[in-house]
Amino acid sequence: MKILFTVLRSIAAVLVTYVLVYVVVMLGEQIIARLTPGYIPGQVPAHLYLIWINTAIYAIATAFCGWLCVLWAPARPHFHLLLLFILGESAGLYFTVAGWGTHPHWISFLWLAVWPIFLWIGGVRLTGNS
């Protein structure tokens, strides 16, 4: 029974934190849409500063969830952080390819670069687990 609990906690540490990043970004887009006339969530904003605000929200959420992943991992926290990295980069690559031609490519590449950097900041630097 203890092994099952450990496995479930490991899976939850990775999946829940990944979903949490997604939820925070979607909520951030909803808040920005309410504060900015003409902005439609899920579409590329007309103003560059809105892209940077979305990216900042994504970066902060990523660092926070990297920290949570390491905190919730029952053992080997860096392994869990690596799994979260692989999951996020895989999904990011998928959405980059799927969305090719619908928005500027640099946004996808920026977010693909933000993911590992801010996971490391949250999971390694904030926890002090080098």
10-57 pLDDT, tens digit per residue, is 999 999 999 999 999 999 999 998 988 888 887 888 888 999 999 999
Number of domains in the chain: 1
Q: What is the 3-state secondary structure (H, E, C) of 84-120?
A: HHHHHHHHHHHHHHHCECCECHHHHHHHHHHHHHHHH
pLDDT over 90, % of the chain: 65
Question: What per-residue confidence (pLDDT) applies to 115?
Answer: 96
The average confidence (pLDDT) of the chain is 91
In a domain, 116, yes or no: yes
pLDDT over 70, % of the chain: 96
For the chain, the C-alpha Rg in angstroms (whole number) is: 16
Question: What per-residue confidence (pLDDT) applies to 130?
Answer: 57
* Range of the structural domain that residue 17 is part of: 2-125
In a domain, 23, yes or no: yes
In a domain, 130, yes or no: no
In a domain, 113, yes or no: yes
Task: Return the structure tokens found at 60.
Answer: 């902060």
